[in-house]
Amino acid sequence: MRLLGAICFFLLGLHAFSQTTIVKIEIQGTKKTKPAFLKKLLQVQEGQELDSIAIEKDIQRLKRLPSISHADFEVRMVRDDQCDLRFNIEENFTLIPFANFYSTVNDELAFRLGLQEFNLLGRNVTFGVFYQRDVFNSYGVNLRAPNLFGRRTGISLTYQDFTTREPVFLSEGTADYRYNNRAFEALLLHEFNFKNRIEIGMNFFTEDYSYITGATSSTVPQELVVDKYLYKLIYNFDALRYHYQYISGFRSILNFQYVRSQDQRLPGFWIGFNDFMFFKRVGKKGNWASRLRLGISDNVETPFAPFALDNNLNIRGVGILIDRGTGAIVLNTEFRHTLVEKDWFVLQSNVFVDSGSWRLPGGSLSDFTDYDNVRVYPGIGLRFIHKRIFNAIFRIDYGFGLITNDPSSGGIVFGIGQYF
């Protein structure tokens, strides 16, 4: 396959001296995905000149699709100045059930069950539903069609009714609240070019806080129901390259939200964070991955601050929702090494260090350097990967507290997909 690719690129290089026209484009290997849909996404088209740079971009574009695990191409000369171009596709299985089990802040068993189809109608439309039991019942449904209005534009629609038992950190102590969020979100998706995409839209939601037990404060209501709406902007710069489980390159995701309330007593606030991700192949079996998250919001002194310190979000082993803040600096770095690789199965080892610091609600920027607010958790883990099923990565990690205000902290974190 490498020799074939080298030959193809050699042939493509000849177009600098003699122009070669693409007479026919074929898509082979698809079973569920519509070939016509894939052709619509390609930059190269029939009647155009052969262009190695454009074809390489198309190969990477195809590999990013949920329905495709791998793609390559072949060039067949039919005349001195004409050729056929064929894309060979390896499809993923895309109807994916999932189940997550974890313990809550009260050491009760919680779980989430769901089903997602990532290639609805053979056009890479994602449709998913979930049910969650975390003391209370929650459910949600999502439809994402990034190419609904053409090659570059689509929509995403989401509805959720989400209820959990949340710890609220007061100066008098910790209280438990029943938190419910009923929300409908609509986003417009647009791709400017191969590397730059944007999502913009609105979310209408109702928040309901009900006091259960614990500390109380005269400044924090025990019952609160308020209608809110938010404007959302997500800007995604993606220069990643994929080869099965290996990733290389750089990606940046900016998420900015401005929230307004129907209750005039609750002022609007903003929140923004950026994830910078860097991946590098190391040798034949290694992959170094890092993520830096920088986040900041209005510095309101509230027990409901937006940035959470949690096992499943940023620091593996730290615990379930143990603190909140109005700013966050988090660095996750890990080395993934392939231990076993068969036709469809991969076993990876993982060595990681998760670290971060938070600004306390109403605090100052110096909180980021306060030793009491810093967490450093190294750890090890395993990845069980199915190469023919989209996002079929089962991960298990154990992180322990190296720098923390709780020296005995540490624990196991399970999940689906890579941590980042």
- Over 50: is that where the pLDDT of 17 sits? no
Could you tell me the pLDDT band of residue 379, with boundaries at 50, 70 and 90? very high
| pLDDT value of position 78 | 93
| pLDDT value of position 183 | 98
- Over 70: is that where the pLDDT of 298 sits? yes
* Segments making up each domain of the chain, as ranges: 2-91, 94-237, 239-254+261-420
CB 376 within 8 Å of CB 352: no
Phi-psi region at 2: left, alpha or beta (left = phi > 0; alpha = psi -120 to 50): alpha
- Over 70: is that where the pLDDT of 2 sits? no
| pLDDT value of position 112 | 87
Provide the mean pLDDT of the chain: 91
Task: Give tens-digit pLDDT for 188-209.
Answer: 999 999 899 999 999 999 999 9
| pLDDT value of position 8 | 55
Strand partners, 373: none
| pLDDT value of position 80 | 87
- Over 90: is that where the pLDDT of 87 sits? yes
Section 136-151 average pLDDT: 96
Nearest CA among 159, 122, 124 for reference residue 145: 124
How much of the chain exceeds pLDDT 90, in percent?
Answer: 72
- Over 90: is that where the pLDDT of 13 sits? no
Q: 2-91 — its CATH code?
A: 3.10.20.310
Among 181-190, 211-220, 268-277, the minimum mean pLDDT is found in: 211-220
- Over 60: is that where the pLDDT of 402 sits? yes
Higher pLDDT, residue 416 or 286: 286
Can you tell me the distance from the alpha carbon of 243 to that of 340, in angstroms, rounded to the nearest whole number?
A: 16
- Over 60: is that where the pLDDT of 292 sits? yes
Could you tell me the pLDDT band of residue 129, with boundaries at 50, 70 and 90? very high
Higher pLDDT, residue 191 or 16: 191
Tell the burial category of 336 from Cβ atoms under 10 Å away from its Cβ (0-12, 13-18, 19+): buried
Could you tell me the pLDDT band of residue 173, with boundaries at 50, 70 and 90? confident
Nearest CA among 23, 11, 72 for reference residue 49: 23
CB 271 within 8 Å of CB 298: yes
Whether 239-254+261-420 and 2-91 are alike in CATH topology: the answer is no
Structure token digits, residue 134: 């975390």
Task: Give tens-digit pLDDT for 249-258.
Answer: 999 999 999 9
- Over 90: is that where the pLDDT of 325 sits? yes
Number of C-beta neighbours around residue 313 at 10 A: 16
- Over 60: is that where the pLDDT of 84 sits? yes
63: part of which helix (H) or strand (E)?
Answer: helix 52-64
| pLDDT value of position 113 | 92
Tell me yes or no: is domain 239-254+261-420 CATH 2.40.160.50.
yes
- Over 90: is that where the pLDDT of 354 sits? yes
Label the pairing between strands 21-28 and 82-91. parallel
Can you tell me the distance from the alpha carbon of 390 to that of 66, in angstroms, rounded to the nearest whole number?
A: 6
What's the whole-model pTM score?
0.84
Could you tell me the pLDDT band of residue 15, with boundaries at 50, 70 and 90? very low
Could you tell me the pLDDT band of residue 3, with boundaries at 50, 70 and 90? low
Can you tell me the distance from the alpha carbon of 307 to that of 360, in angstroms, rounded to the nearest whole number?
A: 10
Could you tell me the pLDDT band of residue 302, with boundaries at 50, 70 and 90? confident
Section 139-150 average pLDDT: 96
